[in-house]
Every structure is written in C-alpha cells, then in structure tokens.
Amino acid sequence: MSNCLTLKKSNCKNCYKCIRHCPVKSIRFSGNQAHIIGNECILCGHCFVVCPQNAKQIVDETEKVRVLLQGEDPVVVSLAPSFIANYTGVGIESMRTALKKLGFYDVEETALGATMVKSEYDRILNEEDRDILISSCCHSINLLIQKYYPGCLRYLADVVSPMQAHCTDIKKRIPGAKTVFIGPCVAKKDEADHYEGIVDAALTFEELSAWLKAENITLEQQTDRTDKSLARFFPTSGGILKTMKQDAKDYTYLVVDGIENCIAALKDIEEGNIHKCFIEMSACAGSCINGPVMEKHRHNPVSDYAAVSRYAGEHDFEVDQPGPVEMKKMFEFIPLRSAKPSDMEISQILRQMGKFKPSQELNCGSCGYNTCREKAIAIYQGKAEISMCLPYLKDKAESFSDTIVKNTPNGFIVVNDLLEVQQINNAALKILNLRSASDVLGSQVVRILDPLPFLNVQQNHRGIYNERTYLAEYDRYVEMTIVYDKESNMLICIMSDVTEEETARQRKEDISRQTVEVADKVVDKQMRIVQEIASLLGETAAETKIALSKLKESITDE
C-alpha cells in the first residue's frame, strides 16, 4: 500500500485520539509518537479528521500533476460528483473553465464512470447466481474486506470503481491522455497507485483549492443542471441504489455506511445470517459527501445532500457501456503480519498494567483501545506501551506520592477550604500524639492545631515558610510551612519536629548564661581582693613612711 497518509512527529501530543477513532487500530504508539501501520491501515482518514494537532497529513501530489501538465500528452480530470457539495453553487462548467486555466485539457465528471458501474451491478444481479453482492466503489471498504474479513471477499463485487471506469474510458476516447482524479478521499490516492496505468494521479479538494488560490483563479458561481445526470447521486448515502434498477428477483437492496456499521454487517455475513441481497457499503457515514478531505472540514449532511440532489438529474448519463470483461477487477487477500498472543501472555501483560483480576479491567478506553485485553494484545504486537493506561499511571503516581508522604520524616497535613483535615501522615500523627489518622480525618483542624495561621494563608494566599512554633499542648517545637494550592483549593501544612534542636539550643544558652554569671562573680571577687590588697598596701606604705621620717629626724638630731 502506498504511503499517502503520514505523520508530522513534532505535532503528536500523546492524546491517543487517533487510536480511539481508528476502526481497525492500525496505529502504533512508540516513543511518545503515533505511527500509522501501512499494512493494516484501510485509509478511511478518520485519524486525519479527528487529530486535534493536525499531526496527520496527506501526501500532496500537486507537483506530480504539474509535471504531467508540462508534458505533451493531454491531461484530463475525472472530478468526483461530491464537488457540488464542496464548492457551493459551482457547476461542472465553472470547474472546467477554472481547471483549464491551470493547464488541463478537459474536465469530466466521475459520475460517468459511476453510471457504467451501477449498470454492471444490475447485470450481475440479474444474470449471475450471486448470493450476496457488496459494492466495490469505496476503496476503504475493499481494503477492510481484503485485510480483516477475507471470508467476505467472494461477495465483494469484482467490478472496477467509478474512478477507474471513467479514467479507462477517457484513455480509450482520447489517445495518449493522462488522467487525474480529484475528490474528497484519501484512499483514492492509494487505489490510483496500486492499480497502475488507469489513474495517473489523485488530488484532494484541499489540494485543488490551494492550487487555484496560488494561481489567483476564482470559481464562478454557475449552475448547469442537466436531466441526464442521475449518477451524480453516487456520493450520497443510498446514492448507488438510487441509480440502480433494483429489479433483480428475490434480492434485497441495503445501504450500510460508516465503518462501524460496515464491520457489524461483515461479521453478520461471515456468520451466515445474510443471504440474497445487494449491499451498498461506504466507509464514511453519509458516504462521500462526508469524506475525510471534504475541504470545509465540517459535517453538514442535510445541506450537502440537498446540493447533490438539486444538481442530479432524473435519468442516466449517456455512456458507452463497457463489456463485463472490461469492468472486471480482482481483489486479493492481504494478509496481516500481527502476531496473536496466547491467553497466558495476555494475562502477563495485564498484570504488568496493574490488573490482577477482571474487576480491575476498567475498559475505560482512554488509551484508545475498547478493552484492556485489546490494549494488552496491542502491547504484545508492539503497537502500544504500558504507560498509555491512564488508570495505571494514576495509580502509579498516587502510589509514588503516597510512598513519599508516608515515609517522609516531616509531618504532612492536608486541609480543605472548610479547614477540615483530609490527609495526615505518620510523622504528623507522632508529632501530635495521635494514635491513627481516623481520629482526626474529617475533623476541623482546630482540634489539633491553632487554625489562625491556616485562615491567614487561605485569605491572603500567601504562604508561611519555616516558622518556628511551640506547640504547648504537645510540648513540642516545630518549624511549620503552610501553603495554598489553587487548583485543589487545599491548604498543605508541613511540620518539621525541631524539639531536640530547640532543647539543645536552650541548654546551650543556659550554659552560656551560667558561664557568664560565674565569670562575673569571679571578676567581682578578684576586684574586691585587689581593692583589699591595695588598701593594705596603702596603710603599710604610710606607716613605713612615718617610721622612716622619725628615723631620719632622730639621726639628724644627733
């Protein structure tokens, strides 16, 4: 299969939306990126439509068509009949005028090929002994059957698509012509590539509009309805049946659109519950007018159907009907390479996802898979990762945070906006002399702590950080931090028990104070001694002076 649908890796944001909407789960998720598995993809385009980041992109073939136009061969457009819904009020003549300005030789409606196809369906139902006939116009449905429901391959109409029938007819009528299909479908690019020599290139309406805009070409509002154009109904739900005669004896004619409904119908057929019927199948709900690349990126089924209905005539286009051999197309079985795990291997993967019993298999679908077992199979096949399970990640995160909270030496208390205790860890229970968390959970914080700091933080939204507080009731010193969490509207209190540190600090201060007091006493005593010695020395000196003076006088007298 051609790689016409790709991924812009930088845009993928791990939302898993593409996986949730992929009907065949053909998307692999690895390295935080989604990867389309080409062998399994049916090119329905759902992932392209639903991606919120525009990470999926369709390979643009505009340059390829430009190269064709530079050649000498005439290049003719086969324009899908859904164009009338995409380009409001613009008829085939306006489209022909605009596209000829781009260099195309001519523009014709794919509805001409649709007329040939519906006539071949009528012939098969009337002339061949078929139990069930499934329309083969939709390439995505063809791929779905070829890859996932091979038991229904024998019921798939072995008839070319309208695009192929028309382009073959163009090449028959215009020698050397190159053909370019333009429509609302991703799958047509693959069909054009796979069946070589019929369609030389395929563009989407988006690519055409961008090209016209770049060349400053404006589409003129013009209606050019003709009565012989019944096959213009083909892009609507039930449009194929509306063009058919529906006169095959004993046959029931049914319409099934939307991949999920088609899958249900194919399962019903495989189980043998359906017989003698023609089934018009379309991958898109509402058929082609709701195709993945309808340029407007919107879903207006009523107004779009009305536009087609107003433009379609009541009789068939006049065409030269090819013979049955020219209309024949063979569909081969396309085997898938995905391995299937055993029940034991699935159980092992489920246990790795934290699901040890059926009640833990929530089947929430957040990973993109409908059930946990489907997700386990995808993990085995390398499509998914265990971390894609939201409940698993939530439980893991909660377990991790709970482990931290339970084992931290700091006290941890969470209080709601009503100042009711919501969570308390073992360290806080020890600080506050509580036996168990149940003694205080749900109670007002005033039961265990002064509520004033909590009220201040709640009102001002300004936290308190490392404020040392004495809890007299518990005879403990703590360093308390209280912060407000806006998202949860919770108050978080973290307490560090610093009683020993504070006791040691006070003991040190007492020792220092006592040392100073002793030093002061020693100094005072020393000063008194010095003073007493000085006093005694003074008296002795005086007495000595008197004695020496008297001695001096005595000696002088003699």
Q: pLDDT for 310-355, tens place per residue?
A: 999 999 999 999 999 999 999 999 998 777 888 888 888 888 887 8
Domain presence at residue 300: yes
**Domain endpoint, select from 264, 297, 327:** 327
Q: Answer yes or no: do 398 and 290 share one domain.
A: no
Whether 354 and 256 share a structural domain = no
Query: CA-to-CA distance for 279 and 86, rounded, in angstroms?
Result: 26
- How high is the pLDDT of residue 396? 66
Least confident of 22-26, 101-105, 225-229, 510-514: 510-514
pLDDT tens per residue across span 110-145 = 999 999 999 999 999 999 999 999 999 999 999 999
Pairing of strands 56-58, 5-7: antiparallel
- If asked whether residues 225 and 77 sit together in one domain, one would say yes
Q: How many domains does the chain have?
A: 3
Distance between CA 293 and CA 302 in Å, rounded?
A: 18
Asked whether residue 380 falls in the same domain as residue 241, the answer is: no
Are 128 and 235 contained in the same domain?
A: yes
Element (H, E) at 278: strand 277-282
Asked if 89 and 188 sit in the same domain, the reply is yes
Q: Are residues 323 and 353 in the same domain?
A: no
- Within this chain, do residues 164 and 241 fall inside the same structural domain, yes or no? yes
Q: How far apart are CA 242 and CA 245, in angstroms?
A: 8
Query: Are the CB atoms for 206 and 296 separated by under 8 Å?
Result: no
Mean pLDDT of 57-79: 94
Please report, in angstroms and rounded to a whole number, the separation of the first and last CA atoms in the chain.
Answer: 151
373 with 486, same domain: the answer is no
- Which of 298, 327, 356 finishes a domain? 327
What is the pLDDT, as a whole number, of residue 179?
Answer: 98
Distance CA 331, CA 338 (A): 21
Do residue 429 and residue 319 come from a single domain? Answer: no
Whether residue 224 is contained in a domain is answered as yes
552 assigned to some structural domain: no
Tell me if 82 is assigned to some domain: yes
What is the enclosing helix (H) or strand (E) of 456? helix 452-460
CA 144 to chain CA centroid, nearest Å: 24
pLDDT-derived band at 552, boundaries 50, 70, 90: low
Position with higher pLDDT, 310 vs 389: 310
**What's the distance, CA 195 to chain centroid?**
34
Indicate the helix (H) or strand (E) that contains 7.
Answer: strand 5-7
CATH number where 473 lies: 3.30.450.20
**Dist. CA 82–CA 289, nearest whole Å:** 5
Tell me if 533 is assigned to some domain. no
What tens digit of pLDDT does each residue of 529-551 get?
Answer: 878 887 777 777 677 767 667 76
End position of a domain, from candidates 383, 407, 431: 407
Range 149-163 average pLDDT: 97
Residue 516 falls inside a structural domain: no
In three-state secondary structure terms, 265 is helix
Look at residues 118, 78, 111, 138 and name the one whose alpha carbon lies nearest to residue 232: 111
415, 384: one domain: no
Q: Does residue 454 sit within a domain? A: yes
Check pLDDT > 80 for residue 400: no
Residue 549 domain-assigned? no
pLDDT of residue 280: 98
Instruction: Determine which of 242-256, 342-356, 387-401, 416-430 has the lowest per-residue pLDDT on average.
Output: 387-401
Helix, strand, coil tally for the chain in percent (to 5)? 45, 15, 35
CATH number at residue 366: 1.10.15
The residue range of the domain holding 418 is 409-497
What is the overall mean pLDDT for the chain?
Answer: 88
Q: Same domain, yes or no, for 249 and 367?
A: no
**Mean pLDDT value across residues 419-429:** 91
Task: Check whether 8 has a pLDDT greater than 90.
Answer: no
**Tens of pLDDT, residues 483-515:** 998 877 889 999 999 988 888 888 888 887 888
Specify the pairing of strand 75-79 against strand 106-109. Answer: parallel
